[in-house]
Amino acid sequence: MPELHQDRRRALSFGEIADDYDRLRPRYSDVTLDAITIGTSAADIGAGTGILSRQLTDRGLRVLAVEPDAAMAELTRRGGVDCEVATFEEWDSRDRTFDLITFGQSFHWVDAQAALGRLAGLLNPGGRVVLLWNKLRPSRPSNDALRAASPDYVDVDAVSSDPTHADFALTELRERFERAGFTVPQREDAWTETQPADRWLDLIFTYSAHSTLPAERRAGLRAALAEVIGGGDVELAASTIALIASR
């Protein structure tokens, strides 16, 4: 799995675009969340602006968010969720345990080996760890046409910012959890949606592979993609992917 957690510049770049991130990033599938929700308490790790935290709160869970970026954490708190500012590796759990631990679009930003070493100790008996990602794949215009428009365009895909690693990374993650004594079923719940071109273009610049480009390259990428779209809407094949780890 690409060790993205080592790139702290990218990992901590989201606070500069926190409002856009919260407004534009897709919510997780209700079908998925209904299936993975368990117990009464949850820790949402790498909570960002609290998108997943709020969805879990809406399902009756008492949620504690953990987020390393102070600007993102502030938006989480504004949404009514308690949030502690720390990386997962440095976070002091103070012997608290949880029925559900979630990583929404965030596990690739932590040291997987370090995380696996402490997750079991944070779970209540019968609890589960759930890793979630939203995958957004343009179908019209085609993703291949968009990729051909600029070498700076990176698929908005699951697990990592590099789609060529996505399936491999999921397999490797499952194997890592299984070696640590977890059973790890996987599910994917799909939907389709259509977004206005400008909104989709705003959305893709909330992903660090695009948002951290130099300003001139960001402008060039946006112009190249807008030309391919041609002023129409963008149709998306979307899904929420979940790895559900329990012991």
DSSP 93-107: -TT--EEEEEEES-G
Predicted pLDDT of residue 2: 47
Length of the chain, in residues: 247
pLDDT tens series, the chain, 247 aa: 446 555 555 656 777 889 999 999 999 999 999 999 999 999 999 999 999 999 999 999 999 999 999 999 999 999 999 999 999 999 999 999 999 999 999 998 888 888 898 999 999 999 999 999 999 999 999 999 999 999 999 887 644 434 344 555 788 889 999 999 999 999 999 999 999 999 999 999 999 889 989 999 999 999 999 999 998 999 999 999 999 999 8
CB 100 within 8 A of CB 61: yes
Predicted pLDDT of residue 181: 93
Predicted pLDDT of residue 11: 58
Rounded to 5°, angle at Cα 143 from 142 and 147: 125
Following DSSP, what letter does each residue of 92-161 receive, concatenated? --TT--EEEEEEES-GGGS-HHHHHHHHHHHEEEEEEEEEEEEEEEEEETTHHHHHHH-TT-----SSSS
* Spatial separation of the C-alpha atoms in residues 125 and 46, rounded to whole Å: 23
Predicted pLDDT of residue 112: 85
Looking from the CA of 5 toward its CB, the CA atoms found within 13 Å total 17
pTM of the model: 0.90
Predicted pLDDT of residue 247: 86
Predicted pLDDT of residue 229: 97
